[in-house]
Structure 1
Amino acid sequence: MKVLGMISGTSHDGIDVAAVDFTLRDGLLHGTVDYAGSSPYPEELRVRLMRALPPSALTFAEACELDTLIGRAFAEVAADAAERAGGVDLICSHGQTVYHWVEGRQVRGTLQIGQPAWIAERTGIPVVADVRVRDVVAGGQGAPLVSLMDVMLLSGLPSRPAALNLGGIANMTVLRPIGGGGPVAYDTGPANALIDAAVVRASDGRLRYDEDGRLAAAGRVDDALLTELLAEPYYRLDPPKTTGKELFHADYLAEALTGHPGLSDADVAATLTALTAQTVADQVRRHRIDTLVASGGGCANPTLMAMLRERLTGVRVTTTAEFGAPTDTKEAIAFALIGWHTVHGLPATVPSCTGASGARVLGAIVPGAGPLRLPEPLATAPTGLRLSGAIG
């Protein structure tokens, strides 16, 4: 079965896609990545979305219009990707997260927009969507759902491996935590969210991210600001836990900088990059990780990766490309995997990672152009994932 996975992540800059042809053999799921790519949001839509995100107020009218406009954007990208992949049997759309309702350590709700009916209508292909909320209802964080792929993809590694995703928010999956038990996964804090906010601030909106880490590389880490940032209570919470731009947004940065008016833009970027590296490294050391497998947009920032490696002497730091998953489309592959599990009647969560009371089959299915026909349910889930043929 060939599944197209789609997601726009916490950087809110575009739509990542991956078409994966899955075959189950001898308990292992083998996936050939026939197409992987990314399409930016139209600039007007991206700006409109960013203006609507927390802490901004939002009307139902604007929410409805964004749900439709993002759904239509996803539909066009899906149609193009499906054609490039030579056709697909199923689409799994994560959509765009706009709010994650967290009270203390309890997630009360989560909202992803990008109406999947537009995708089904445009392509004629069934769509699995709304995949996070079932885990939340079961008492989980609704994240990181990518932990399913992390556990399956890295299952063959010995000792203490972990997966790290550096999107807007950084999340980590630890396969074999100290003290035993099942895998654990959680958001460690911001990855690119605050760095991006600093670049937007420094460039008056002309730039959206620190390309090649150049701004941070030109600055110096301010120890006083870094110490204040590290005092954020979120970092001291025990997992499972999750966060997002509801906490780490432009106003959060502006407030943090009020006591440091003399810092240059480069010094601010360097300090925020060090914040990401430090909060990740603290968790890697906490779990005595010996192999860290990174993915996400942060892998393209050499300044961030250098700071991370400096803090992790003795840890092998590599990327998911070594395991067949392009670093910038790993999450799209993960949602293709979730879609495959859903239509085969299999749970697609790791309860010890999300904190849910049990594993759950995720999502709702929007039929395509014809009658909805699902594969025969599988009694046993695959134990591992092997990827090949990945292309950019």
Structure 2
Amino acid sequence: MRVLGLISGTSHDGIDSALVDWTMADGVLTGVIEHTGARPYAPELRAGVVAALPPNRIDMAEVCRLDTLIGQAFAGAAEECPAADLICSHGQTLYHWVEDGRVRGTLQLGQPAWIAERLGVPVVSDLRVRDVSAGGHGAPLVSAFDLPLLAGLPGRNGALNLGGIANLTVLDPAVAYDTGPASALLDAAVLAATGRPYDEDGRLAAAGTAHEELLAELLADPYYRGAPPKSTGKELFHAGYLARVAAPYGLGLEDLLATLAALTGETAAAEVRRHRLDTVVVSGGGLRNPVLMGELERRAPGTRFIASDELGVPSDAKEAIAFSYLGWLTAHGLPGTVPGCTGASGARLLGTVTPGEGPLRLPAPLADPPERVRMRLG
């Protein structure tokens, strides 16, 4: 079954896509990656998304407008990909409602009917809310893909995704959670100071020196002391948060970025150390920031960090591939949430299905999920 995964993550810069042809045999699910891509948001749409994120406030007219425009943008991204049997769309997270460590709700925009209408293919969407309704965090859903991908590797292993927010999946025991910001605060600092979306290749951070007093204050945030399962987002780690904490120190941009890279390195490395991981499979945009990766490796000595590409998963497309997998699970009647990772009361079948141009026909349900996932490029 050929499933197209679509996602725009917490960096909200565009839409990642991955078309995977999935085949199940003897408990092993093989995914052949036939296409990956990235379609930037139009500047005015990205500006609209940024303006809608916390701590900003918008009205329902703007919510409706963004739901439509993001849905149309996702349809455009899908149209640029090879034909699929099913599409799984994450949409764009606009708000993740967390109170006292509990997720009360989560909102992803990008109306799937625009995708189904344009492509004529069924669309699985709104995957996170079912996990939330079962008492989970709705994140990180990528853990359902990480666990069978890591299965069979020697030693103690984990998977770390460095997007806007960093999330870690540990194979044994099965646990997953957001460790804190990855690029979210780094990008916010660069955008505020230069108007550019990110620090390309970590060049600005490489020219700076981490400020230990500010780093200590950032590390004192209560989020890091919370026990998993836990999740976070730009509802907490946003430009206003950074300005409030960092402004009194008056740092130049280079030193501020070096400090923020150290923050991500320490908060992620602390969890790697806690689980005594031998190997960590890394993906996401943060993998391309040598300063961030250097901080991570320095603070977790003895752990081997490898790019997910070594397991056949292109690092920039990891989350899109994971959502292709989640779509495959839903189509086959299999749960896509791991209770030990998200905190849900039980495994749940995820998402809502929007029919394509004809009658909705899904494969016969499977009794058991795959024990292992193996990936290769087509």
Q: Structure 1-normalised TM-score?
A: 0.96
Calculate the aligned-residue CA RMSD, in Å.
0.7
Q: Which amino acid aligns with 1:57?
A: R
What is the deviation of 1:313?
A: 1.3
- 1:185 maps to 176
Structure 2: unaligned runs, 5 residues or longer: none
- 1:98 maps to 94
What is the deviation of 1:341?
A: 0.4
Q: Which amino acid aligns with 1:188?
A: T
- Does the alignment pair 1:151 with 2:142? no
The 8 Å contact of residues 7 and 91 in structure 2, kept in 1 or not, is answered as: yes
The 8 Å contact of residues 69 and 110 in structure 2, kept in 1 or not, is answered as: yes
What is the deviation of 1:40?
A: 0.5
The 8 Å contact of residues 159 and 280 in structure 2, kept in 1 or not, is answered as: yes
Determine the C-alpha separation between the residues in 2 that align with 1:169 and 1:11: 8
Cα deviation per residue 1:1-40 (whole Å; 9 max; x = unaligned)? Answer: 0000000000010000000000001110000000001110
- Does the alignment pair 1:198 with 2:219? no
- 2:213 maps to 224
- Does the alignment pair 1:72 with 2:72? yes
Alignment of 1:32-43 (within 5 A): 32-43=32-43
Q: Give the 3-state SS of the residue equivalent to 2:249 in structure 1.
A: coil
Determine the C-alpha separation between the residues in 2 that align with 1:364 and 1:334: 17
What is the deviation of 1:156?
A: 1.2
What is the deviation of 1:159?
A: 2.1
Alignment of 1:255-334 (within 5 A): 255-261=244-250, 263-334=251-322
- 2:58 maps to 58
Determine the C-alpha separation between the residues in 2 that align with 1:258 and 1:375: 56
Structure 1: unaligned runs, 5 residues or longer: 178-182
Q: Structure 2-normalised TM-score?
A: 0.99
- 1:160 maps to 156
- 2:241 maps to 252
Determine the C-alpha separation between the residues in 2 that align with 1:156 and 1:122: 41
- 2:26 maps to 26
- 1:352 maps to 340
Determine the C-alpha separation between the residues in 1 that align with 2:64 and 2:259: 38
Q: Give the 3-state SS of the residue equivalent to 2:237 in structure 1.
A: coil
Determine the C-alpha separation between the residues in 2 that align with 1:346 and 1:29: 13
Q: Give the 3-state SS of the residue equivalent to 1:293 in structure 2.
A: strand
Determine the C-alpha separation between the residues in 2 that align with 1:210 and 1:309: 20
Question: Which runs of 4 or more aligned residues in structure 1 lie more than 3 Å from their structure 2 counterparts after TM superposition?
Answer: none
Q: Give the 3-state SS of the residue equivalent to 1:242 in structure 2.
A: coil
The 8 Å contact of residues 36 and 317 in structure 2, kept in 1 or not, is answered as: yes
What is the deviation of 1:299?
A: 0.5
- 2:198 maps to 209
What is the deviation of 1:52?
A: 1.0
Q: Which amino acid aligns with 2:10?
A: T
Determine the C-alpha separation between the residues in 2 that align with 1:194 and 1:80: 31
What is the deviation of 1:58?
A: 1.2
What is the deviation of 1:152?
A: 0.9
Cα deviation per residue 1:137-183 (whole Å; 9 max; x = unaligned)? Answer: 00000000000111011101122101000000000001114xxxxx0
Match of 2:111 among 95, 100, 115: 115
What is the deviation of 1:311?
A: 1.2
- 1:88 maps to 84
Determine the C-alpha separation between the residues in 1 that align with 2:241 and 2:355: 42
- 2:351 maps to 363
Q: Give the 3-state SS of the residue equivalent to 1:94 in structure 2.
A: strand
What is the deviation of 1:258?
A: 2.4
Paired positions, count: 378
Q: Which amino acid aligns with 2:171?
A: L
Q: Give the 3-state SS of the residue equivalent to 2:148 in structure 1.
A: helix
Cα deviation per residue 1:94-145 (whole Å; 9 max; x = unaligned)? Answer: 0000000001111000000000000000000000000000000000000000
